[in-house]
Structure 1
Amino acid sequence: MNALLAANAAAAVAAIAFALVGGARPAALSESGTPSAGERFYGWMYATRGVPLGVAALVAPLAWSGPASSLILSAAAAAQVGDAAIGIATRKRTMIAGASLLTVVHAATAVATA
């Protein structure tokens, strides 16, 4: 269980880091030269969703177990499924792989803490 909690913590920290990068430097994730106003807008939208959800996924299994923790981790896993789907649509292999891995880690932790 400790290894799973550590993996979940690492996954949550990674999600937070990518959300912060998406907000601060959207071109780093979109691989465009100069971000458009739309990229900056959506980068901040991603950050405002990703940071709080990542913090919740980090803290919830460490603070308590049970349905509340499982629900938060399931929401984090669902968000990662969405990110993987965006990766598939845009053919970004690293986004597909990263989001898929985080989905598995969050979902496994949700089951273990239920």
Structure 2
Amino acid sequence: MNVLLAANTVGAIAGIVFALVGGVRPAALSESGTPTGGERFYGWMYASRGVPLGVAALVAPLAWPGPAGALILCAAAAAQVGDAVIGIATRKATMIAGSSLLAAIHVATAVTTA
């Protein structure tokens, strides 16, 4: 269980970092030369979802073990599944792998701590 909590912690922090990078430097994630206004807009939209959800996924299993924490982790996992689907649509293997792995970690942590 400690290994799973550690993996969830590392994954949640990584999710927060990627969300912040998406907001501050959207071209780093989109791999475009100069970000358009739309890329900057959607980067901040991603960050406004990703940071709070990442913090919640980080804190939930420690602060609220049981059904409440599991629900938060399942919501975070659902967001990661959505990111993986976007990765499939845009053919970004790292996005598919990272989001899928983090979704699995969130679900496993939810099941273990519920």
Q: TM-score range by the shorter chain?
A: over 0.9
Partner of 2:73: 73
Alignment of 1:45-64 (within 5 A): 45-64=45-64
Q: What is the distance in 1 between the residues matched to 2:41 and 2:82?
A: 18
Q: What is the distance in 2 between the residues matched to 1:64 and 1:110?
A: 11
Partner of 1:90: 90
Q: Secondary structure at the match of 1:29?
A: helix
Partner of 1:41: 41
Q: What is the distance in 2 between the residues matched to 1:85 and 1:95?
A: 9
1:10 maps to a residue whose letter is V
Cα drift, residue 5 of structure 1: 0.4
Cα drift, residue 39 of structure 1: 0.2
Partner of 2:23: 23
Runs of 4+ in 1 over 2 A off after TM superposition: none
Q: Aligned Cα RMSD in Å?
A: 0.4
Unaligned runs of 5+ in 2: none
Q: What is the distance in 1 between the residues matched to 2:23 and 2:68?
A: 28
Q: Secondary structure at the match of 2:58?
A: helix
Partner of 1:11: 11
Cα drift, residue 62 of structure 1: 1.0
TM-score by length of 1: 0.99
Cα drift, residue 27 of structure 1: 0.2
Q: What is the distance in 1 between the residues matched to 2:42 and 2:58?
A: 24
Cα drift, residue 64 of structure 1: 2.3
Q: What is the distance in 1 between the residues matched to 2:87 and 2:16?
A: 18
Cα drift, residue 33 of structure 1: 0.2
Q: What is the distance in 2 between the residues matched to 1:46 and 1:29?
A: 11
TM-score by length of 2: 0.99
Unaligned runs of 5+ in 1: none
1:24 maps to a residue whose letter is V
What percentage of aligned pairs have identical amino acids?
Answer: 80
